[in-house]
Structure formats: structure tokens, C-alpha cells
Structure 1
Amino acid sequence: MALHRLLSQQLLLFGWTILAVTAASQPSSSCINSCGSLSIPYPFGTSEGCYFDESFLITCNNTSGSSTPFLRHCNLTVLNISLDGELRVSNFVARNCYNNSGLVDSDIFHLSLLNFSISYTKNKFTAVVCDTFVIFNGLSRGQNYTTGCLSLCDHINSVVNGYCSGIGCCQTSIPEGVTNFIVGLGSFNYHSTVLDFNPCGFGFVGEEDAYNFSFLDLKFLQNRTTIPLLLDWAVGNESCQDAKRNLTSYACKAAYGECYNFNNGPGYRCNAP
């Protein structure tokens, strides 16, 4: 009888321990789960105790009269968060512009993504220009990677709408696992022969389906300064099997879906339940 009572007490204590560990790893019920029209699911969050770690912190900016969500560590506007492991952000466009006196504006773009990777299946590196070479230098799984593309044309009539062929527009793929990159541009003839229809060169990494080349883009990219970029996100640096051994830090609780391993970098993801 005494042994039965002792076992019951131990089982009760074990049950309370499991509940305490699970509760400690869950975000508080007071967490704000939206910013404007954006739904913000865990492991993302807007305040301490509501996100998995600081790479998942979303800042909600309300100063302009409307709520705009930003990915805090790289200050990019967040467009959508998917529990299938995709994060859509608004990425900046690098440019250099010329007039008859030479270079008047140059903007090299650098992005550091910490624990996120660029989706190599859904993004492209693109240059829109008639007298420019564009360089992409990235860090992929600890290794430097450099690529680029060259776009030339001497007359607007040689440009074909909707076709990124190297005449007015060029594209190239990026490797798996890129977390940091720099986009830079250079010109062969300072746009001197194409100034009337192409005073600037543009380069960006962005969602392939979100951009369709037009000859009108050669004129200041039709004042477009950003392009949607799809990022792959995962939790931590462990596989699902290893992560499940620590209930305190394990992110895929019942409310946040089932665990599966990530294939574009370290860590794991939580499928939507």
C-alpha cells in the first residue's frame, strides 16, 4: 500500500514537471499575434516571451498611421509568414545612376539574414540594365560564393518585353543555403551611349514570379525600389529527433504543428496542424 502511494506521488510529480516544462516553452496568452493585416504565428513574435529567439522578432511600426511589420534584425518589411517555413519580405534594389558628368548615385545593397536562408528554388538574381555588369557575392554554408550577369544593349528597339535574355535584362540562379549577400554594380561606358533610355543600372535578389521584365523598367525601374524576396526559415540548429529531447526549447508543440527537418540549412520546421 505504501509502495503504491509512493509510486502515485512520483507519477503526479512527474506529470507536474512535464506540464511546467511545456508551459515554460509556450508563448504567453497575452502575446500580440498580428501587426496590421499580418498574422504573426509562433515561433515569430512581437515582444519578449512571445518568440523563439531574437531572429524571429517582428517589430510593429505604428508611427505612419498604419501598422507596418519589420523583421527586426535586418529591418525588412514582412509581407507574409507561412508555417510551412516561408517568410516573404520586401527586399531593396541596388542601383547606380549616371548623367553626362558621370556617376551621380550608387547604392550597393548588403543583407545579413542570421538564421534564415534565401529560397534558392523561388528566387533569382536579376539585373535590369543596358551597360552594366552586376555582381552577387554570398555566403553559403560557410563558403563564399560569387556570381553575376552581364546585360548589354545599344538601342531600346533591341529589347524584348517579358524576356530576360541578357539584352536589357539578365538573370541567374543562386545556390542553396545563402544567408548573407552583397549586390554591386559596375558600368563599361558610364551609360554614355544609352543615357536617353537607360540612365541607371539595377540589381536585386527577388522572387522569380514577382518580377516580369518590361523595357519600361530601363527608365528608373518605373520608380520601383523594392522586390518581394522569399526566405526559408527554420528553428535552431538541430534535427527534429535531437530537438525533441529538450521540451523546454522544442518549438513544435501541438498548437504549432508537426516537426520536420529543414533542407536549406540547419534546424527544423513546424508544419501547420
Structure 2
Amino acid sequence: MSRSQFQFLVLHFTSLFILWAMSSRTTLAAASPVPPTDSIAKLHCPSHCGHIAIPYPFGIGEGCYLTGSDTGFYSNSFQIICNYSTSPPKPFLTSTSLEVLEISIEGTLQVRSPITFSNCTDKPGLPSNRQTYNLEQTPFWYSQDNRFTSMSCGGIALMTKFSNGLTTTLGGCLSICDYSSNPVLKKNTCIGINCCQSTFPKYLKNFNASFADVINARSAKECKYAFVVKQSWFTRTNMSVIGDMDYVPVELKWSARPYSDISNNWTVSNNSTYISDDGRLLLCSKGYEGNPYLLHGCQGN
């Protein structure tokens, strides 16, 4: 065989091998579905505001969030406004103006909630009667992982609700005074000395915080504050700095379906599961992960 014939055969078989390899690669790509590059937000919608992930049914921009016509709630309950004037940008719930700290696809939402102050001279710019946000007519309610907390001395802090002309007491706590020291500053506990806590009723959407002094005139004049707070954050935070804060993190529960929706077969994504223990909640089936509120949002792991 001549040298030119040998080179021709080498070139011929090399070309055949390249064509076979390209064909095999194309067949493999066609047989294997490509996972979505972003499985938390709707297609062509922002998935983050700053460092905060924004999963559907929440969304930024028209067509990117679940609307009221689909849920029975306010039309913009799941709409997020991203404030780009801060660095990094911060997300806010349009329906409540609350700043969002975290959204979980498993039905929880962390927001910044205001502290209610009384007789605090170092808070001149804050109204003494400001309250937590009323969540009626929204798909949100206060989680039982929160605690109603009062940092005060010698008084009762109350959770009350006004409805149909009547004021109902939902809960509260009593703290006693220790003027010799400040145990709140010494250790991260709240056991009724200068600080007290109360658990939360289930499915609570609206309440007010108030104070009733019961010890003496001295305690009545002292600065006191009450707030709802996510307990896991509270237990790991130095309580001496809370008095300098205006807001604390609160956990809300959320549902994409109201309780009036009695459908038992509500699913969106393939490979998703519907549960209704704490609301109308979707989860990816066992062995799958992703966003069950998106079509094909649950992918095998």
C-alpha cells in the first residue's frame, strides 16, 4: 500500500469516528432531559432580590407571582417589590410593606416586625402605640414558633384583639423587678425577671400589644417594650442589644389556598404531594426536590 493510500484510509476512518461520536452525543442529550437552570421562580422572572431567594408563588414583576384570582386573597398578596435603592437590594411584601428576610417553599416566611415601646425616652422618633401588622385577608398568619416577649420590669404585657366592639385577651406574661442587677444582660434567658414570654395561639393573624403596671409607681415610669419574635433567633441573640433595635425577625406561615378551598386533589407540578395540616401546602414527592408550585418544578434527585 502506498503512503498516499494509507493516509487516505486514516483520514477516512478518523472522519467516520468523529461522525459517530457526534451522533452518540446528540442521541444521549435527546434521551436525557436537561434540568431547569432555575427551578424556584417562573420562567423569565427574577429569582432573587439581593441575597434573598424569591420562589414562586412569590414573585417580582407582573406575571411572576400567584394572583388573587387564583387564591381568593388580595390580588397582590404574593407580589414582592425589590428596593434597589439599598445595597444589597431588599425585598418587601407589597400587601403588607413588611421587609422579607427569608422565604421557604415549605410554607414559612421571615419578615421584620416592629417592636412596641412604652415610656422609652431614647425612642423619640417612634410612635409608642405602633403594632404588628394585621394579616387579615392575606395568606399569612403568625407561626407558633414565635414567642410574645416583653422586656420590662414589674408589669404585665398583654396580647389583645379587638373585634365586634369587644376586646379579647389572647395571652400575656408578667415580669418582676430586680433592681440589684440585670439578669437579662447576664445570660440569654427570659424567665420572668425583667423579661417574660408567652406562647402563641394557632392561626393568629391580628393582635395588639399593651402594658399594665402592677408593681409600683417606679416600674410604671420605666421603659418597656414588647414584640413578637422567632424564638430560635431570640435564644441566640444578645438580649442587651434588642433595646437598641426597632424591628425583630418574625416567622409567618403562608398558604397558596384559603381554607374555604375544599379541593383534595390540588397539585401543580408532577411528582408533588398535597397536605393540609397547617394550610394548603404542596411538597415535592419523596425522591424529588425543587418547587412544587411550578409545572415540572419537582425533579428527581
Same fold (TM over 0.5): yes
Decide whether the 8 Å contact of 1:239 with 1:268 is kept in 2: no
Identity %: 27
Q: Which structure shows the higher strand fraction? A: 1
CA-based RMSD: 3.2
Query: Is 1:263–2:277 an aligned residue pair?
Result: yes
CA distance in 2, matches of 1:145, 1:157: 32
Correspondence list, 1:35-74, <5 A: 35-53=49-67, 54-74=76-96
Decide whether the 8 Å contact of 1:233 with 1:269 is kept in 2: no
Correspondence list, 1:207-246, <5 A: 207-212=230-235, 216=240, 221-237=242-258, 242=263, 244=265
**One-letter amino acid of the counterpart of residue 50, structure 2:** G
- Per-residue CA deviations over 1:85-113 (Å, capped at 9, x if unaligned) read 111111111111256xxxx9623313122
SS in 2 for 1:91: strand
Moved over 4 A (4+): 188-191, 238-241
CA distance in 2, matches of 1:252, 1:238: 18
SS in 2 for 1:205: strand
- Largest Rg, 1 or 2: 2
CA distance in 2, matches of 1:193, 1:124: 23
Q: TM-score, normalised by structure 2?
A: 0.65
Relative distance call for 1:187 and 1:62 in structure 2 (3 A) is: farther
CA distance in 2, matches of 1:168, 1:110: 22
> 2:139 is matched with which residue?
115
Match of residue 155, structure 1, among 168, 176, 179: 179
Q: TM-score, normalised by structure 1?
A: 0.71
Match of residue 126, structure 1, among 149, 153, 162: 149
Decide whether the 8 Å contact of 2:114 with 2:130 is kept in 1: no
> 2:70 is matched with which residue?
none
Query: Is 1:176–2:202 an aligned residue pair?
Result: yes
Unpaired segments of 5 or more residues in structure 2?
Answer: 1-40, 68-75, 285-289, 291-297
Match of residue 32, structure 1, among 31, 46, 49: 46
> 2:24 is matched with which residue?
none
Which one scores higher on RCO, CA 8 angstroms, separation ≥ 6?
1
Unpaired segments of 5 or more residues in structure 1?
Answer: 1-26, 245-249
> 1:146 is matched with which residue?
170
Tell me by how many angstroms 1:190 deviates: 8.3
CA distance in 2, matches of 1:98, 1:73: 30
